[in-house]
Amino acid sequence: MTQLSSNRTVQRKVFPERQLSPEEKAHRQAEDEVFYQRCRVIFDRVKPELIDEHYDWFIVIEPESGDYFIEADETVARQKAHDKFDRTRRVMMRINETGACGKI
């Protein structure tokens, strides 16, 4: 019978000097939520007119301009988003009842 070793090593964070403070984490989460809500408003506005003909397609939304586009293929949508919006922040959703892109 093989004996299992009980020697455990303590896992250390790779870059402890680069860890965010709890305040910074909370600040970033709040910013993310505001950004998502702005995108969600645009999604909720356009979803009724797109859902019948483009169900489960991808929609990429850039909330600063209110601009968006739709694409059936996720890879193509990502490439178009990169080409069109370059480095601006955007969100990708699915045109369905919830906007979710996957399953949990």
pLDDT of residue 6: 64
The answer to whether the CB of 34 falls within 8 A of the CB of 8 is no
Low-confidence ranges of the chain (pLDDT < 50): none
Distance CA 59, CA 101 (A): 10
- List all residues 6 or more positions away from 18 whose beta carbon is below 8 Å from its beta carbon: none
pLDDT digits (tens, 9 = 90+) for 44-64: 999 999 999 999 999 999 999
pLDDT of residue 55: 94
Q: Could you tell me the sign of the dihedral formed by the alpha carbons of 98, 103, 76, 51, in that order?
A: negative
pLDDT of residue 93: 92
Strand runs labelled E in 1-104: 58-62, 67-71, 91-94
Q: What percent of the chain shows pLDDT beyond 90?
A: 62
pTM of the full structure: 0.75
